[in-house]
Amino acid sequence: MSRRLGELVIVLFLVSAGTFALVSLMPGDPAVTVLGEGHTEHEYAAVRADMGLDAPLPERYVDWLGSAVRGDLGTSVVPPYSDISDRIGAALPVSVELAVLGLGMALVLSIPLAMWSAYHAGGRVDRLISAGTFGMLSVPSFLAGLLVIMVFANGLGWFPRAEWVRPGEGLVDNVHHAFLPALTIALAETALFTRVLRNDLITTLREDYILSARAKGMSTVHILLSDALRPSSFSLITVLGISLGRLIGSTVIVEYLFALPGMGSLVINAANEGDFPMVQGAVLVIAGSYVLTNTVVDLSYHYLDPRIRRAHV
């Protein structure tokens, strides 16, 4: 455990350094972004000095990292000059909720599909499910989102096209507004999860203890849920952790289609406006979330598989 936590600290340090260095190389002059065009070089130099941009890059990084560790990510350099931590604090829950709801929906759909497909491996049901998941993987997320909007928002009128209601304003309204973007995310993830879990289940169902359970007259449902699902879930858990970390910062297309104020929209807007402190803070939070999520997944293996625990005793 201590070794894993040490590795986590090193990875987060490297992520923060890479984030700061890459964003610092963004084209454009932050002083021009703050003041606008038409000012004197003396005025621009004063702004750079006030922002600490005249200091060497390592010194700027140490100052920025020290503030970030304390939760201070700085202030936006474009109007309305808001606190970066506050902006991220408002956007991050939107992306996290979309990712969690989308992955939850994907798990609810993919687990029974994968078990059904694996139990009938090579049969008509398996071929139909495999073809369906392959087709879903082939559909880009923006097209899937447009189709979802056309059917459920414009056609049936069951869900709103845009707007966002936070959980504090009403949980039912929040889920009602979040359902379509979460469904858009879930479609592609369902296809991926189904294919991954199906392949592992097929291998598990050929194990001797599964054949023994069948010989004892155990029901198919009991064998699939109690005996086969857990040892077949490790690849799925890995993919799930990767997907969760990835989706927190990569739902920008979904957020754009449904006009949602999440992390993806925040980063894109900040980059377009040249707001480099906002980009630095947002990318650091997204990357840190990704690293932390996958660390939790790695640690979960010790609790899910007793063979791994015994190997480290």
Q: Is the pLDDT at 249 greater than 70, yes or no?
A: no
**Distance in angstroms (rounded) separating the CA atoms of residues 278 and 283:** 8
Q: What pLDDT, in 10s, does the model give residues 268-304?
A: 888 777 778 888 888 888 888 877 877 777 776 666 5
**Distance in angstroms (rounded) separating the CA atoms of residues 34 and 31:** 5
- The reply to whether 59 and 132 lie within a common domain is no
Q: State mean pLDDT over 8-26.
A: 76
Residue 207, domain member (yes or no) = yes
- The reply to whether 134 and 264 lie within a common domain is yes
Task: Name the band, by pLDDT with cuts 50, 70 and 90, for residue 7.
Answer: confident
Largest CA distance in the chain: 86
Q: Is the pLDDT at 170 greater than 70, yes or no?
A: yes
Q: State mean pLDDT over 195-218.
A: 80
Residue 80, domain member (yes or no) = no
Q: Is the pLDDT at 235 greater than 70, yes or no?
A: yes
Q: Is the pLDDT at 139 greater than 50, yes or no?
A: yes
Q: Give 83's strand partners.
A: 75
- The reply to whether 95 and 47 lie within a common domain is no
Task: Name the band, by pLDDT with cuts 50, 70 and 90, for residue 58.
Answer: confident
Task: Name the band, by pLDDT with cuts 50, 70 and 90, for residue 311.
Answer: very low
- Give the range of the structural domain holding residue 208, as residue numbers without chain letter: 89-273
- The reply to whether 139 and 33 lie within a common domain is no
Q: Is the pLDDT at 156 greater than 50, yes or no?
A: yes
- The reply to whether 262 and 123 lie within a common domain is yes
- The reply to whether 224 and 112 lie within a common domain is yes
- The reply to whether 196 and 254 lie within a common domain is yes
- The reply to whether 152 and 210 lie within a common domain is yes
Residue 72, domain member (yes or no) = no
Q: What is the pLDDT of residue 149?
A: 86
Residue 151, domain member (yes or no) = yes
Tell me which residue has tokens 């979802």: 148
Q: State mean pLDDT over 99-122.
A: 88
Q: What pLDDT, in 10s, does the model give residues 34-47?
A: 666 767 777 777 77
Task: Name the band, by pLDDT with cuts 50, 70 and 90, for residue 27.
Answer: low
Q: What is the pLDDT of residue 312?
A: 47
Flag the least confident range among 28-32, 236-240, 292-296.
28-32
- The reply to whether 62 and 93 lie within a common domain is no
What mean pLDDT value characterizes the chain? 79
Residue 265, domain member (yes or no) = yes
- The reply to whether 117 and 58 lie within a common domain is no
Q: What is the pLDDT of residue 254?
A: 83
Residue 108 maps to which CATH number? 1.10.3720.10
**Distance in angstroms (rounded) separating the CA atoms of residues 239 and 237:** 5
Q: What is the pLDDT of residue 28?
A: 65
Q: What is the pLDDT of residue 310?
A: 45
Question: How many structural domains compose the chain?
Answer: 2
CA 297, 298, 302, 307 torsion: positive or negative? positive
12 CB-near residues (< 8 Å, 6+ apart): 288, 291
